[in-house]
Amino acid sequence: MNEHIVTSYEEELALLDKKIAHMGGLAEHNLGLSFDALEHRDPRLAETVVKSDKQIDQLQREIETLVISMIARRQPMADDLRRVMAALRIAGDLERVGDLAKNIAKRALAIAHESHPKPLMTGLGHMVELALKQLKSVLDAYSERDAEKAMAVWRDDEQIDAMYNSLFRELLTYMMEDPRNIGLSTHLLFGAKNIERVGDHTTNIAETVHFLVKGMNITDDRPKLDQTSTTLISKD
């Protein structure tokens, strides 16, 4: 009987990891698709991202339900408790990444019939590419229980901030050159901010992975190079 209980418990823990991997894969996929919709002015692709976000939300609810059930029935302690709580925290961050991808898709819908300046889209593309790379790396760090890999992601968040600061200045210049550019530039600006926020949630996941593996929080100040906070306010 005891062996059966332990086996079932391990299966539940493995199921948590499986659901996190599935949720992370969907978040990555949606983020990439949302930029494709923006770059190619494809409203159908944007609608696909908006609709598929419901899958990510559903997975978060399933993870929350499983965690609550495990805490109530298993009363996990020490390493197991960290593992359960880490899954809950990571699910919350991945749900936000899904929301941010959906927000970008909605921007794509709003400007589907407008032409985009190629240099600005190139800058956004570089931001998305780096955000996706960091998200994949931190999910691998979670799967492999690799604290060092998580710390590498944590330190590199300032690269996305630097890209965002540069693009922010370019977009402001573009708006000042011609008031007719303000509408398009505003949508692109909020799209860029959403990508920057993806980097923040990726950093949150990195901190959770470090805590999961090491049993302690990161004590260093979080690297942050976003210089636009007082200029642009975007809802997370």
* pTM of the predicted structure, to 2 decimals: 0.89
**String of DSSP letters for 147-194:** HHHHHHHHHHHHHHHHHHHHHHHHHHHHHHH-GGGHHHHHHHHHHHHH
Asked if residue 180 is part of any domain, the answer here is yes
% the chain with pLDDT above 90: 74
At residue 34, does pLDDT exceed 90? yes
pLDDT tens digits for range 139-187:
999 999 999 999 999 999 999 999 999 999 999 998 999 888 899 999 9
Is 70 a domain residue?
yes
Average pLDDT over residues 45-66: 97
pLDDT grade for 234, boundaries at 50, 70 and 90: very low
Write the CATH number for 106.
1.20.58.220
Helix (H) or strand (E) holding 8: helix 2-40
Distance CA 113, CA 117 (A): 13
Q: How far apart are CA 223 and CA 156, in angstroms?
A: 8
Question: Is 226 part of any domain?
Answer: no
Q: How far is CA 193 from the centre of its chain?
A: 12
Per the structure, the complete domain to which residue 161 belongs is given by 2-214
b/e sequence 97-125, b meaning 16+ C-beta within 10 Å: bbbbbbbbbbbbbbbbeeebeeebeebbe
Taking only Cα atoms into account, the Rg of the chain, rounded to an integer number of angstroms, comes to 19
Asked, for residue 225, whether it belongs to a domain, the answer is no
Q: Is the pLDDT of residue 14 over 60?
A: yes
Report the domain count for the chain.
1
For residue 224, tell me if it sits in a domain.
Answer: no
Q: Is residue 192 part of a domain?
A: yes
Tell me the C-alpha to C-alpha distance, in Å, between residue 1 and each of 8, 77, 81, 87.
Answer: 11, 21, 22, 27
Least confident range of 32-36, 112-116, 136-140: 112-116
Q: Tell me the C-alpha distance between 158 and 130, whole Å.
A: 11
For residue 90, being part of any structural domain is answered with: yes
pLDDT of residue 179: 87
pLDDT at 228 over 70: no
- The answer to whether position 220 is within a domain reads no
How does pLDDT run across 69-114, given as a tens digit for each residue?
999 988 888 888 999 999 999 999 999 999 999 999 999 999 988 8
